[in-house]
A and B are shown apart, each in its own frame.
Chain A
Amino acid sequence: MARVPVAIDMVEIETNTTVLPDEFIAHRLGMIPLVSTNCDEAMRYTRDCTCEVRCTYCAIELMLNVSCHDGGHTMDITSDMLEVVPTSRPGFGGFDVDADGSEELAKRVESFGHPIGQGDPSTPPILICKIRKGQELRIRCIAKKGIAKEHSKWSPCAAVGFEYDPHNKLRHTSYWFEYDARSEWPLSENAKDEEPARDDLPFDYNAKPEKFYMDVETDGSLGAQEVVMKGLAELQTKLANLVLGLKGDPPETDGFQNGAAALGGPANGAEPAAAAWGAPGGGGGWSPARGGAGAGGGATSTWGAGAGGGSTSTWGASPSRGAGGGATGTWGNSPAAASGGWGAPAGGSGSGGGTAGGWGSPAAGAGWGSPSQTQNGWNV
């Protein structure tokens, strides 16, 4: 769902004397795919940005200024005529441009935000509108980052296909036929990868599908490989946030900041929230210092999405707990124990996690106190 490309989100129309109404053109502009490579790191959501309205880090400005003076022919306005306003222009958006965003700009590729295929003669441009002599279109567009749940223009996928069992060996479907299903139904490309069903073997009704075929086609704003990788990373982020939530330590991310966004927010080690967790006997309370922002523990646990390699990504199971509470029965869990994290593909589940275990049985003395190694879901 959330693979975050960039698309035109707002259009200011200065002059529109074409035959198409403003909103018609604005909608067509929104559909134009823009180069969005690596945009989950190279760009911010406007709602997360520190600027007041928009800035270079969360918006891209494109200009279109076309008029027709040729009486003989209609003229095509295409996506090639959209010009990206350089981000270095001072005062873009008119509001504070903080210095810490420069790394985001550095992660952008050169053509970031340009309509795809711009300047590439082999890619035909996208037609926006046709004008005749005397007509003019002058507009300013703001492209932003978004996700496809909000609007499908932010979906990089043009087509996604899914199939399993191309020979229908498992008989999960039944083909309609006149005389013979095999001769009347064409086989898909994927059928080449599998053996057809053999007539001399009995039907294996216990068989389960094992090979799944996915086709991914994008509109060009992102590569198909990037889309798949981001999609998998996104699923991991969702699951990791859910685990964090289950541990009673609400993550402060919105769950959609992908990748290496630190799972953590403002340190609130001594908030009244601790009272809710106070063990009846202990009285001290267990205050979760929500990682990241330098609570006493000083441990910043990041969960890097894309844990495939397993080398860099650690998902600290508990971001520095008990920092400000002074609780007696704190969970002795140092994020350092969490190396390995989710990464180990062989084990199925990672090796780290220390004692971040779930809900310790309340009978164990001081409320939630001291779960053992075996209580968690990690060391299975």
Chain B
Amino acid sequence: MNAPNRYELYVLEEGERPVEVTEDTKIPNAATVKIVKQDHTLANLLRSQLLSMPQVTFAGYKVPHPLHPYFLLKIQTDGSVTPTQVLETACTKLIGTIATLEAKFKREFTYNADGAVQEDAYGVPVTGDGLEGRSYIDF
């Protein structure tokens, strides 16, 4: 069979660059970023983060072909920063957001392991014995 290996959808090939930035020749402060071996998961995340940033005048993405594992992210800024810089800032902010969410999730889960708040007299959560016996032990 000539079907390509399925892992080629998400594993970078030897020497392949994950990101390629092409500056737009006709529109000022605009660039198209080609990100390979990624899909809507990352693309949509970045797009919405970029749109929430005031320096960005345009952000959009497309997956040109569903069988080709890359997407194009088009960014135009107001000129105060370059599209590459703003994309980097967006990534940093997103990582921060996710880290916050992760910390909050972790904290909540210690309280709500069995759907009830288990605390000792000092308000310190008591680790229940049921849930975290096997599956969660590695956290």
Q: Is B62 an interface residue (CB 8 A)?
A: no
Is B17 within 8 A of A245, CB to CB? yes
CA distance A235 to B99 in the complex (A): 10
CB <8 Å contact, A239 and B94: yes
Main secondary structure of the interface of B (DSSP, over half): helix
Which residues in B have their C-beta under 8 angstroms from that of A246?
Answer: 19, 21, 84, 87-88, 91
Q: Which residues, 1 to 39 on B, are CB-close (under 8 Å) to A?
A: 6-7, 9-12, 15-19, 21, 35, 37-39
Q: Is the CB of A349 within 8 A of B42?
A: no
For A150, give its contact among B7, B15, B45, B106 (CB under 8 Å): B7
A1 on the B face (CB < 8 A): yes
Pairwise interchain contact A226-B102, C-beta atoms closer than 8 A: no
Spot the interface stretch: A79-87, A91-99, A166-174, A338-346: A338-346
In the assembled complex, which residues on chain B have CB atoms less than 8 Å from the CB atom of A247?
88
Q: How many residues of A contact B (CB 8 A)?
A: 57
B48 contacts A by Cβ under 8 Å? no
Number of interchain pairs (Cβ within 8 Å): 155
The closest CB in chain A to the CB of B21 belongs to: A246
Bits for A236-278, please: 1 = Cβ < 8 Å to B, else 0.
1011111111110011001110000000000000000000000
Q: Which of A14-22, A122-130, A197-205, A307-315 is the contact stretch?
A: A307-315
Whether B18 lies near A241 (C-beta < 8 A) is yes
Indicate which residue in A47, A150, A359 contacts B84 across the interface (CB closer than 8 Å).
A359
Bound-state CA distance A222–B136 (Å) is 9
Let me know if B122 is at the binding interface, CB within 8 A.
no
List the B side residues contacting A147 at CB < 8 Å. 10
Q: How many residues of B contact A (CB 8 A)?
A: 49
For B97, the closest partner residue in chain A by CB is A348
Interface flag for A109 (CB, 8 Å): yes
User: A307-B99, A347-B96 known; A245 and B19 CB under 8 Å?
Assistant: yes
List chain A residues, Cβ under 8 A from B21. Answer: 246
In the complex, residue of chain B having the shortest beta-carbon distance to the beta carbon of A147: B10
Q: Is A74 an interface residue (CB 8 A)?
A: no
Q: Evaluate whether A310 and B82 lie within 8 angstroms (CB atoms) in the complex, with A47-B7, A149-B10, A226-B135 already known.
A: no
Specify which chain A residues have a CB less than 8 angstroms from the CB of B135 in the assembled complex: 37, 222-223, 225-226
Are B136 and A223 in contact, with the CB atoms below 8 A? Answer: yes
A349-B96 contact in complex given A241-B18, A254-B10, C-beta closer than 8 Å: yes
Question: Cβ of A239: which chain B residues have Cβ within 8 Å of it?
Answer: 42, 45, 91, 94-95, 98
> What residues of B have a CB within 8 angstroms of the CB of A53 in the complex?
none
User: Does B89 sit at the interface, judged by CB under 8 A?
Assistant: yes
- The yes or no answer to B92 lying at the interface (CB within 8 A) is yes
Q: A38 at interface (Cβ–Cβ under 8 A)?
A: yes
Q: 0/1 per residue, A139-183, Cβ < 8 Å to B?
A: 000000001011100000000000000000000000000000000
| Residue A196 is within 8 A (CB to CB) of chain B in the complex | no
Contacts of B80 in A (CB 8 A): none
Picked from A225, A309, A378, the residue with its CB within 8 Å of the CB of B92 is: A378
List 27 interface pairs A-B (beta carbons < 8 Å), by A numbering: A1-B41, A37-B134, A47-B11, A109-B134, A149-B6, A150-B9, A225-B109, A226-B135, A226-B138, A229-B102, A232-B102, A232-B105, A235-B41, A236-B99, A238-B42, A243-B88, A250-B17, A254-B37, A255-B11, A255-B18, A307-B102, A344-B99, A345-B96, A349-B89, A358-B82, A359-B85, A377-B92
Task: Give the interface of B toward A (CB within 8 A).
Answer: 6-7, 9-12, 15-19, 21, 35, 37-39, 41-42, 45-46, 82, 84-85, 87-89, 91-106, 109, 134-139
Residues of A within 8 A of B (CB): 1-2, 37-38, 47, 107, 109, 111, 147, 149-151, 222-223, 225-226, 228-229, 232-233, 235-236, 238-247, 250-251, 254-256, 306-310, 342-350, 358-359, 376-378, 380
